[in-house]
Structure 1
Amino acid sequence: RSPWRRMAPTNSSFVTEFILLGLTDLPDLQLPLFCLFLVMYVVTVLGNLGFITLIGLNSHLHTPMYYFLFNLSFIDLCYSSVFTPKMLIHFTSKKNIISYRGCMTQLYFFCFFAISECYVLTSMAYDRYVAICNPLLYHVAMSPKVCSSLMLGSYLKAFLGAIAHTGRRMLRLTFCDANTINHYLCDILPLLQLSCTSTYVNELLVLIVVGINVIVPSVTILVTYGFILSSILRISSTEGRSKAFSTCSSHMVAVSLFFGSGAFMYLKPSSAGSMDEGKISSVFYTNVVPLMNPFIYSLRNKDIKLAVRKTLGRRVF
Structure 2
Amino acid sequence: MQKVSQSTVTEFILLGFAPHTSISPLLSTFFLLFYLLILVSNSLLITFTRQDPGLHTPMYFFISVLTPLDMCYTTTTVPQMLVHMLSKKRATSFARCVAQMYIFLFFGVTGSWLFSIMSVTRYMAICHPLRYKVIMSYWVCPPHGGASARTYGVVGGRYYTFFTMHLPYCGPNEIDHYFCKVPAVLKLACADTSLNDLVDFITGFNVIVVPLSLVVIVYANIFATIMKTCSAQRQIKAFSTCGSHITVVTMFAIPCIIMYVSPGSDSLSNSGKKMALFYNIATTFLNPVIYSLRNKDVKKAFLKLMGQSRAPE
Give the TM-score range, shorter chain: over 0.9
Task: Give me the whole-angstrom Cα distance separating, in 1, the residues matched to 2:60 and 2:85.
Answer: 36
Matched, 1:83 2:77: yes
Q: What residue in structure 2 maps to residue 14 of structure 1?
A: 8
Cα 1:104–1:293 change in 2 (3 A) is same
TM-score (norm 1): 0.92
Matched, 1:158 2:156: no
Length, aligned pairs only: 309
Matches within 5 A, 1:82-161: 82-148=76-142, 149-161=144-156
Shift of residue 174, structure 1, vs aligned partner = 1.3
Cα 1:115–1:272 change in 2 (3 A) is closer
Task: Give me the whole-angstrom Cα distance separating, in 2, the residues matched to 1:270 and 1:23.
Answer: 21
Matched, 1:202 2:201: no
Local SS of the residue matching 1:98: strand
RMSD: 1.9
Q: Tell whether the 8 Å contact from 2:259 to 2:265 is kept in structure 1 after alignment.
A: no
Local SS of the residue matching 1:25: coil
Shift of residue 262, structure 1, vs aligned partner = 0.6
Shift of residue 223, structure 1, vs aligned partner = 1.1
Cα 1:316–1:101 change in 2 (3 A) is same
Task: Give me the whole-angstrom Cα distance separating, in 2, the residues matched to 1:261 and 1:13.
Answer: 31
Local SS of the residue matching 1:27: coil
- 285-294 or 259-268: which moved more? 259-268
Q: What residue in structure 2 maps to residue 259 of structure 1?
A: 253
Q: What residue in structure 2 maps to residue 3 of structure 1?
A: none
**Which runs of 5 or more structure 1 residues have no equivalent in the other structure?**
1-8
Q: What residue in structure 2 maps to residue 221 of structure 1?
A: 215
Local SS of the residue matching 2:140: helix
Which stretches of structure 1, 4 residues or longer, exceed 6 Å deviation after superposition?
none
Q: What residue in structure 2 maps to residue 4 of structure 1?
A: none
Cα 1:118–1:271 change in 2 (3 A) is closer
**Which runs of 5 or more structure 2 residues have no equivalent in the other structure?**
none
Q: Tell whether the 8 Å contact from 1:12 to 1:172 is kept in structure 2 after alignment.
A: no
TM-score (norm 2): 0.93
Matches within 5 A, 1:207-286: 207-270=201-264, 275-286=269-280
- 241-250 or 254-263: which moved more? 241-250
- CA shift digits 1:264-315 (9 cap, x unpaired): 1112345767543211111111001111100010001111011111111111
Q: Give the partner amino acid of 1:158.
A: G
